[in-house]
């Protein structure tokens, strides 16, 4: 695995170079929905990752955001779960909070997670039972145990209109009970920043496997906790995610479920 791990790390850095190279160029944008964008860079990064990863993991299958076939619900023996560009709206506007998220699942368990922020030069990595790292240094979740002293992150789905009241209700509760609420526009980064202690917690509804797979492992390997809003075990097909340092988890469960 060591050789493959080195190769994978290199591939993800190279994929980040595509985002860096395109950063100052005009964006080519298409619409998947009214406010749901995809750029040529999303597609270029994804194609690059799949092609390169196939050369070192010839038996792997892929669950990747911009592929046509994204409905699969069972992970094969070896599956890569890829968000080539998390934070597409940010990318479209030149807001540098963008990341590549890659998770490797073996026998249905996520064992490697990478979240790379090429513009901010932050490379997050986690390996099952071996810890979580930022630019090679071990990271851990925050030790804050009071929600009122905590900074919490969230995000919204693109099809927000039918769920706006529910989302605003949750936001109001968390705003009134915490030190602050952030919506920075990239779920993978929200999870990585929870793993390294910048956020005490993160919650969102309607995320997809590629948004959360790598970040889930990062948070757990950094000592945090990941569940749905009702404190039940998380899986990448859950409609809700609550990821915290563990210490403010119950307070958030209480807010999000009442």
Q: Which residues are annotated as a binding site?
A: 65, 83, 85-86, 211
Which of Ca ion, ligand IPD, none does residue 155 bind (CB under 5 to 8 Å by kind)? Answer: ligand IPD
Q: Is 251 in the site for Ca ion (CB under 5 A)?
A: no
Task: Candidates 144, 211, 221, 251: give the one binding Ca ion (CB under 5 A).
Answer: 211
| Shortest reach from residue 204's CB to ligand IPD, in Å | 6
Show contacts with Ca ion in window 97-156 (CB under 5 A): none
Which of residues 53 and 186 has its CB atom nearest to ligand IPD in the complex?
186
Instruction: Show binding-site residues for Mg(2+).
Output: 65, 83, 85-86, 211
Nearest-10 Cα torsion for 125, 135, 189, 42: -80
Q: Is 96 in the site for ligand IPD (CB under 6 A)?
A: no
| Shortest reach from residue 245's CB to Ca ion, in Å | 23
Task: Candidates 156, 182, 231, 240: give the one binding ligand IPD (CB under 6 A).
Answer: 156
| Shortest reach from residue 111's CB to Ca ion, in Å | 21
Which of the ranges 54-62, 83-91, 132-140, 241-249 carries the binding residues for ligand IPD, by CB under 6 A?
83-91
Q: Which residues bind ligand IPD (CB under 6 A)?
A: 83, 86-88, 155-157, 185-187, 204, 207, 211
């Amino acid at each position: 695995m060591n050789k493959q791990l080195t190769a994978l790390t290199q591939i993800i850095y190279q994929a980040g170079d595509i985002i860096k190279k395109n950063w100052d160029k005009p964006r080519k944008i298409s619409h998947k929905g009214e406010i749901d964008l995809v750029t040529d860079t999303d597609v270029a990064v994804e194609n690059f990752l799949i092609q390169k990863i196939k050369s070192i993991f010839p038996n792997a299958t892929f669950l990747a955001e911009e592929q046509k076939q994204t409905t699969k619900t069972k992970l094969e023996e070896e599956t890569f779960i890829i968000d080539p560009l998390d934070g597409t709206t940010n990318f479209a506007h030149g807001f540098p909070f963008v990341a590549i998220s890659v998770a490797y699942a073996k026998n249905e368990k996520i064992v490697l997670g990478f979240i790379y922020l090429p513009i901010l030069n932050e490379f997050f990595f986690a390996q099952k039972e071996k810890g979580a790292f930022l630019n090679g240094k071990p990271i851990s979740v925050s030790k804050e145990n009071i929600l009122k002293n905590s900074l919490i992150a969230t995000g919204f789905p693109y099809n927000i209109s039918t769920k706006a009241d529910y989302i605003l209700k949750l936001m109001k509760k968390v705003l009134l009970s915490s030190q602050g609420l952030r919506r920075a526009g990239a779920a993978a980064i929200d999870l990585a920043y929870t793993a390294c202690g910048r956020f005490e917690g993160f919650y969102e509804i309607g995320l997809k496997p590629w948004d959360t797979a790598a970040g889930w492992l990062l948070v757990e390997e950094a000592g945090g906790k990941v569940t749905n809003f009702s404190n039940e075990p998380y899986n990448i097909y859950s409609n809700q995610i609550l990821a915290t340092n563990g210490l403010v988890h119950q307070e958030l469960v209480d807010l999000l479920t009442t």
